[in-house]
């Protein structure tokens, strides 16, 4: 007999309920118990966002009950993270078996919040969605013009940390060997997305979020700071037990690339970068050297392509450039091959969306690589329609040569 958390929904007006319900509207939930996978991931991410406290907030974990470990309940250490007493979440008092309450619940009175003072730059003490009444600055100008060095370091550290944590959980789920095929892909997608949603809604409640696995909200369009997330880039490769998949976390400022982290679970590494003008830098948590855009290309160019299908125009580009094809999955993994010196060019035409390209593009830009659409135009982010389809990455010195090869291949005609 093992201890597992049984989750009961908090009161409808509680911040935790808003976090959970906003994160559980997923795209194409076909895995058994998909609501549970997302919810448990959300709670794990939210716990991480507030520093993994010793006592869980009231209204989240209502009961701790003994249940058999028969595979029907997700393993808490992989989905929610371990409490300070092992994998059993810490609570006050003795665990209680689930059952009817002894009496009707009565809402707890909440202290009234002081009215927020008017004027730019004033402190606002009104309640924030994560349920903690902490002061925050009301900006009088776009945040991209106000971000300080400390804030940048804080956001970058958060992106790296949550990308690594999400990768550990998604990779760990695959290691359980309880699912396969499409079910495994759905479980990984939803657990990863739930964790990311819980983290960012808990730590950055005022920022916008655009994620592949959560229904979009137009509220993000009015935000200057928007997190663009892909909880599992390369779903097919993940479900086929391959190594070429990734986790994308990116922060944009005013629709432009700001900072990002791309976790490569099979490499046990996270690539990160800051692409803000004048603050560009990038690195690897494993200490690997990343190639800059001004590095010397090899004598034989290598063109990274999709593993499952290579269009005729891509083969034509490779022929014009006399380049060798390097097939692999995941946009993030493909771009990492360029940055790690295993490829030199990446071109793609149809099907990419903002969550596919934003994090890899940010890191490539931070290292001085040329990034654009196939005709040379730049991407903008946080648009109403997240489809941006095209991507071209190469060394700046090769830009004109690659753009010419793409034009001659016929890719721009259809």
pLDDT digit string, tens, across residues 137-174 = 333 334 555 788 899 999 999 999 999 999 999 999 99
Distances (CA, A) of 54 to 267, 289, 368, 381: 32, 38, 43, 38
Token pair for 157: 């550290």
Banded model confidence at residue 414, pLDDT cuts 50, 70, 90 = low
- Tens of pLDDT, residues 220-269: 999 999 999 999 999 999 999 999 999 999 999 999 999 999 999 999 99
Token pair for 335: 């771009």
- Predicted confidence (pLDDT) at residue 131 exceeds the cutoff of 70: no
- Pairwise pLDDT comparison (24 vs 412), residue with the higher score: 412
Taking residue 99's Cβ as centre, other Cβ atoms within 10 Å add up to: 8
- Predicted confidence (pLDDT) at residue 132 exceeds the cutoff of 70: no
- Predicted confidence (pLDDT) at residue 330 exceeds the cutoff of 60: yes
- Tens of pLDDT, residues 282-325: 999 999 999 999 999 999 999 999 987 789 999 999 999 999 99
pLDDT of residue 22: 47
pTM higher than the cut 0.85: no
d(CA 351, CA 386): 11
Looking at mean pLDDT, say which of 103-107, 121-125, 265-269 comes out highest: 265-269
Banded model confidence at residue 110, pLDDT cuts 50, 70, 90 = very low
The answer to whether 388 and 363 have CB atoms below 8 angstroms apart is: no
- Predicted confidence (pLDDT) at residue 120 exceeds the cutoff of 70: no
pLDDT of residue 308: 78
- Predicted confidence (pLDDT) at residue 380 exceeds the cutoff of 70: yes
pLDDT of residue 42: 58
**275-305 CB burial, b ≥16 within 10 A, e <16:** bbeeeeebbbbeeeebbebeeeeeeebbbbb
Report the 3 state secondary structure along the chain.
Answer: CEEEEEECCCCCCCHHHHHHHHHCCECCCCCCCHHHHHHHHHHHHHHHHCCCCCCCCCCCEEEEEEECCCCCCCCHHHHCCCECEECECCCCCCCCCCCCCCCCCCCCCCCCCCCCCCCCCCEECCCCCCCCCCCEECCCCCHHHCCCHHHHHHHHHHHHHHHHHHHHHHHHHHHCCCCCHHHHHHHHHHHHHHHHHHHHHHHCCCCEEEECCECCCHHHHHCCEEEEEEEEECHHHHHCCCCCCEEEEEEEECCEEEEEEEEEHHHCEEEEEECCCCCCEEEECCCCCCCCCCCCCCCCCEEEEECCCCCHHHHHHHHHHCCEEEEECCHHHHHHHHHCCCCCEEEEEEEEEHHHHHHHHHHHHHCCCEEECCCCCCCCCCCCCCEEEEEEEECHHHHHHHHHHHHHHCCCCC
- Predicted confidence (pLDDT) at residue 19 exceeds the cutoff of 80: no
Banded model confidence at residue 51, pLDDT cuts 50, 70, 90 = low
Give the distance from CA 5 to its chain's centroid: 25
Residue with tokens 């810490």: 90
Give the distance from CA 109 to its chain's centroid: 36
pLDDT of residue 61: 34
pLDDT of residue 214: 84
Domains delineated in the chain = 2-90+146-284 (3.30.540.10), 302-409 (3.40.190.80)
- Predicted confidence (pLDDT) at residue 181 exceeds the cutoff of 80: yes
The mean pLDDT of 179-195, rounded to a whole number, is 92
Q: Average per-residue pLDDT in the chain?
A: 76
Return the minimum-mean-pLDDT range out of 10-24, 117-131, 143-157: 117-131
Banded model confidence at residue 44, pLDDT cuts 50, 70, 90 = low
d(CA 268, CA 288): 11
């Amino acid at each position: 007999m093992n201890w597992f958390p049984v989750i009961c929904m908090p009161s409808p007006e509680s911040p935790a309920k808003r976090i959970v319900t906003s994160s559980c509207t997923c795209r194409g939930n076909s895995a058994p118990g998909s609501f549970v996978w997302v919810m448990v991931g959300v709670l794990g991410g939210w716990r991480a966002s507030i520093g993994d406290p010793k006592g869980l907030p009231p209204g989240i974990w209502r009961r701790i009950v003994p249940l058999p470990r028969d595979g029907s309940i997700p393993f808490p250490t992989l989905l929610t993270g371990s409490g300070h007493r092992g994998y059993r979440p810490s609570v006050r008092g003795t665990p209680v078996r689930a059952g009817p309450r002894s009496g009707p619940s009565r809402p707890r009175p909440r202290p009234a919040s002081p009215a927020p003072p008017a004027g730019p730059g004033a402190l606002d003490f009104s309640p924030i969605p994560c349920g903690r009444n902490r002061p925050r600055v009301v900006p009088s100008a776009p945040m991209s013009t106000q971000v300080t060095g400390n804030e940048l370091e804080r956001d970058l550290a958060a992106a790296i940390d949550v990308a690594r944590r999400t990768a550990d959980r998604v990779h760990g789920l695959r290691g359980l060997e309880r699912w396969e095929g499409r079910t495994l892909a759905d479980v990984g997608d939803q657990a990863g997305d739930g964790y990311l949603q819980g983290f960012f809604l808990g730590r950055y409640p005022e920022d916008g979020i655009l994620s592949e696995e959560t229904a979009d909200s137009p509220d993000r369009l009015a935000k200057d700071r928007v997190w663009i997330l892909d909880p599992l880039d390369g779903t097919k490769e993940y479900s086929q037990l391959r190594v070429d998949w990734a986790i994308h976390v990116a922060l944009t400022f005013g629709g432009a690339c700001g900072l990002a982290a791309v976790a490569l679970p099979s490499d046990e590494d996270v690539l990160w970068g800051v692409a803000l003008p004048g603050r560009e830098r990038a690195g690897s948590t494993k200490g690997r050297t990343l190639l800059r855009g001004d590095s010397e290309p090899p004598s034989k160019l290598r063109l990274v392509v999709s593993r499952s299908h290579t269009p005729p125009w891509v083969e034509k580009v490779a022929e014009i450039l006399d380049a060798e094809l390097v097939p692999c999955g995941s946009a993030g993994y493909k771009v990492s091959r360029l940055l790690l010196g295993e490829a030199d060019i990446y071109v793609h035409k149809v099907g990419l969306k903002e969550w596919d390209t934003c994090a890899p593009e940010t890191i490539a830009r931070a290292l001085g690589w040329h990034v654009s659409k196939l005709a040379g135009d730049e991407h903008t982010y946080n648009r109403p329609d997240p489809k941006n389809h095209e991507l071209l990455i190469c060394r700046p010195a090769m830009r004109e040569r690659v753009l010419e090869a793409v034009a001659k291949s016929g890719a721009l005609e259809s």
